[in-house]
Amino acid sequence: MEKYEVIVIGSGPGGYVAAIRAAQLGKKTAIIEKYSTMGGTCLNVGCIPSKALLDSSEHYYNVTKSISEHGITVKDIKVDFSKMIERKGEVVKANTSGIEYLMKKNKITSYQGVASFENTNTVNIALATGENTSIQGDKIIIATGSKPTQLPFLQIDKKRIITSTEALSLPTLPKSLIVIGGGVIGLELGSVYARLGAEVTVIEYLDRIIPGMDDDLGKELQRILKKQGFKFNLQHKVTSAIADDDKVVVKASNKKGEEQSFEAEYCLVAVGRRPYTEGLGLEKIGITTNQAGQIPVDEYLETTVKGIYAIGDVIQGAMLAHKASEEGVFVAEVIAGQKPHINYRLIPGVVYTWPEVAGVGYTERELKETGREYKTGSFPFRALGRSRASGDIDGSVKIIADKVTDEVLGVHIIGARAADLIAEGVVALEYRASAEDIARMSHAHPTYAEAIKEACLAATDNRAIHN
């Protein structure tokens, strides 16, 4: 039987990064992936294809809505939807084959097949070829990810009632789409189709969208997406969805308890994701998942079984690619005897709508709950020279700082390039900067980043220069 120092199950951003780091640290490493391509949810049916479609649809939207303001006239604009989907496929392929190359480069042995535990150091692989093999590992890392959460009363037929996976590969451009869930997936994929002309109706259970983020961001995003044609139905409880050949009818009760009916070509169910451990044989090694389906781990991300670790979406915490990757590096380094560290408070969250939304650190809601005294400083993008030049004037930056010490506690951005700008917030929080520290640092002009400096000035005795 082939023996390895480290076996990784699952090749998503958690698993493949763990394998590379383990190999870098000199460990004989194997990775097992059940699908024919590497990269997991993120590269195949998540982060990458959704961003490819977001970028394509944004080009179209800008050409139709705002390019004339720049003195450019474009005639006969058409969407070639199958070409858009084809390009998305090529982007995915370039990324997934990049991971295969990285496995070879780092001398990691790849197995294609379904892994299941035989015992605490032996993994059986039902190979894609139809054969079975078993391998042994000193340490085993479970990185099997997650799958969409289903509503118990609602049958996902994958034709009319769909998950994000089908929404990334629709056969034709829809004219209308109902989205159940006003979270990240619903608003990102809703944006793709709204920009391409579909009527998008969001049905959300709570009284706000993107509920995990600072409340101000959700309010502002809702206002802007409404301008882009989104229809929002908050505080609505979905009760049924019935599909026929060419449409779906969704019923939901509003906050007064009145039944509302919605009809569209497709219904995207995006109400969260659930850890995936099916067929892994956890019961054979005595690991029990918790109520949320997560594998319990300690501070070293070790499960209740010594030598078996778990990372990424399959454990607690944000279901984000960069969180999974940080944990991949962390576990490989723990296994190699190092003392790594992850500050979970500083995992940034991003929504790739337009404008983008990004946040790191505490939200105001969280600080109010803990009773910590804080102050805020905000700066609107419309007051920035860079924003006026590009025309991207929506949104603002909000800095939350400790009322007494001025330490930056949270950075919350909605606006152009927020996804990239948030990195400055992460650095500020990691090094425990004060708002005044950031306010006194030179930010290149004209840039969107100046809004962060100005918001820090606003948080420091209300002394923003341009507002």
Which residues are the active-site residues? 445
Peptide bond into 355 cis (omega under 30): yes
Chain position whose Cβ is nearest to ligand NAI: 183
Least separation in angstroms between residue 214's CB and ligand FAD is 18
Nearer to ligand FAD, 210 or 320 (CB): 320
Residue 10 in the binding site for ligand FAD (CB under 6 A): yes
Per CB under 6 A, 12 contacts ligand FAD: yes
Binding of ligand FAD by 50 (CB under 6 A): yes
Given 8, 19, 33, 174, the residue binding ligand FAD (CB under 6 A)? 33
Instruction: Kindly identify the residues of this chain, within the stretch 97-126, that bind ligand FAD according to CB under 6 A.
Output: 114-115
Could you say which of 92, 108, 140, 143 contacts ligand FAD (CB under 6 A)? 143
Nearest Cα to 460, choosing from 403, 412, 416, 419?
403
Options 144, 201, 396, 434; binder of ligand FAD; rule CB under 6 A:
144
Distance CA 124, CA 114 (A): 8
In the list ligand NAI, ligand FAD, none, the entry touching 42 (Cβ below 5 to 8 angstroms by class) is ligand FAD
Residue 186 within binding range of ligand FAD, rule CB under 6 A: no
Q: Which CB, 274 or 322, lies closer to ligand FAD?
A: 322
Q: Which amino acid is at 170?
A: L
Under rule CB under 6 A, residue 280 binds ligand FAD: yes
Q: Which residues contact 273 (CB under 8 A, 6 or more apart)?
A: 146, 147, 148, 149, 313, 319
Convert residues 135-164 into a mask of x (bound to ligand NAI by CB under 6 A) and - (unbound): ----------------x-------------
Among left, alpha and beta (phi > 0; psi -120 to 50; other), residue 108 is beta
Query: Judged by CB under 6 A, which of 89, 272, 281, 317 binds ligand NAI?
Result: 272
Q: Which does 219 bind (CB under 5 to 8 A by kind): ligand FAD, ligand NAI, none?
A: none
Task: Select the span of 43-51, 368-376, 406-414, 444-452 touching ligand FAD (CB under 6 A).
Answer: 43-51
Nearer to ligand NAI, 67 or 318 (CB): 318
Burial class of 446 by CB neighbour count within 10 A (0 to 12, 13 to 18, 19+) = middle
Which one of residues 40, 137, 348, 380 is an interface residue with ligand FAD (CB under 6 A)? 40
Closest CA to 142 of 280, 344, 346: 280
| Cα-based distances in Å from 79 to 64, 266, 307 | 11, 19, 52
Residue 142 falls in which region: left (phi positive, over 0), alpha (psi -120 to 50) or beta: beta
- Give the per-residue contact string, 209-248, with ligand NAI (x = CB under 6 A; - = no): --x--------------------------x----------
CB atoms within 10 A of CB 213: 23
- From the list 85-93, 273-281, 371-379, 384-392, the region that binds ligand FAD by CB under 6 A is 273-281
* 167 CB neighbour count, 10 Å cutoff: 26
Task: Give the C-alpha separation, 90 to 98, whole Å.
Answer: 12
Going through 64-208 in order, the beta strands assigned E by DSSP cover: 109-119, 122-127, 132-142, 146-148, 161-162, 176-180, 199-203
Q: How far separated are the first and last CA of the chain, in Å rounded?
A: 69
What order of strands is seen across the sheet that includes strand 356-361?
A: 349-351, 356-361, 408-415, 396-402, 374-380
How many other C-beta atoms can be found within 10 angstroms of the C-beta atom of residue 445?
11
Binding site for ligand FAD (CB under 6 A): 9-15, 32-35, 40-42, 46-47, 50, 114-115, 143-146, 164, 185, 276, 279-280, 312-314, 319-322, 324, 352
Q: What is the contact surface with ligand NAI in residues (CB under 6 A)?
A: 151, 180-186, 188, 203-206, 211, 238, 270-273, 318-320, 350-352
